Amino acid sequence: MSTMQYSFRLTLNDEQDTQNLAKTLSKCFTEGVIYLIGDLGAGKTTFTRYLLQALGHQGAVKSPTYTLVEPYKIKQKDIFHFDLYRLNDPYELELMGIRDYLDVPNALFLFEWPSKGGDDIPDANIVIQIEKSEDDVQRFITFSLENAALYECLKEKL
Ligand code: ADP
Ligand code: MG
């Protein structure tokens, strides 16, 4: 994460802004690894829900807090939404067969609480940090990423 070349901050005033940001991201990035970092209630799952919807998902998006992962297949594309909050030991990831998930080609991986995953989870292409305002209305977002083309794509659209 410390080697990420590009970073920028955004203020989201409401959920509509969050949805718009997710839509923009869906046009620039559809495979690889996203880390979502922030306190409980920051909006990691909400952002994921809007991103999945922007990619064409129509059903519910459950928080995978108890299952660790929730798989999606959206327009032939595999998407895995992980929430490692309840992970006690990264070894549990081996037991749940994380390697099989990570071997899926061209997939998109979202990780909430990646810090709990230890070395078993892949490095991020994008790190999204979300902070709440005092009054819990706004969200302050920091994107960090390493790919110049992705940075240009986002910058052009935001
Ligand atoms: P996390 O997954 O980070 O624990 P959730 O996404 O489950 O957080 O919860 C975020 C809560 O904050 C939701 O109830 C959501 O409706 C609310 N919220 C309010 N404003 C925003 C916003 N701008 N973006 C995302 N969520 C928001
Ligand atoms: Mg969550």
Mean pLDDT of 86-98: 93
13 lines ligand 1 (CB under 6 A): no
User: Is the confidence at residue 86, as pLDDT, over 90?
Assistant: yes
Q: What whole-number distance in Å separates Cα of residue 82 and Cα of residue 86? A: 11
Give start and end residues of each alpha helix (H) in the chain.
Answer: 15-28, 44-54, 91-95, 98-102, 148-157
Structural domains of the chain, with CATH: 6-157 (3.40.50.300)
Q: Which helix (H) or strand (E) holds 33?
A: strand 32-37
Q: What is the pLDDT of residues 19-43, one digit of tens each?
A: 999 999 999 999 999 999 999 999 9
Q: How confident is the model at residue 3 (pLDDT cuts 50, 70, 90)?
A: confident
Categorize the per-residue pLDDT at 2 as very low, low, confident or very high, splitting at 50, 70 and 90: low
Residues 86-97 have a mean pLDDT of 93
**Mean pLDDT of all residues in 96-103:** 95
| DSSP H or E run through 131 | strand 126-132
For residues 98-110, average pLDDT: 97
Q: Give mean pLDDT, residues 61-78.
A: 95
Task: Decide whether any atom of ligand 1 lies within 6 Å of the 14 Cβ.
Answer: yes
Mean of pLDDT values over 78-102: 95
Distance, in Å, from the CA atom of 8 to the CA atom of 59, rounded to the nearest integer, reads 31
**Sequence-separated (6 or more) residues with CB below 8 Å from residue 119:** 90
Q: Checking DSSP bridges between strand 32-37 and strand 108-112, what pairing results, if any?
A: parallel
Average pLDDT for the chain: 95
Is there an atom of ligand 1 within 6 Å of 89 CB?
no
Please report which ligand is nearest the Cα atom of 51: 1
pLDDT score for 120: 86
The CA 46 to ligand 2 mean position distance, Å, reads 7
Distance separating alpha carbons of residues 78 and 12, to the nearest angstrom: 28
Q: Would you say the C-alpha torsion 131, 17, 122, 124 has a positive or negative sign?
A: negative
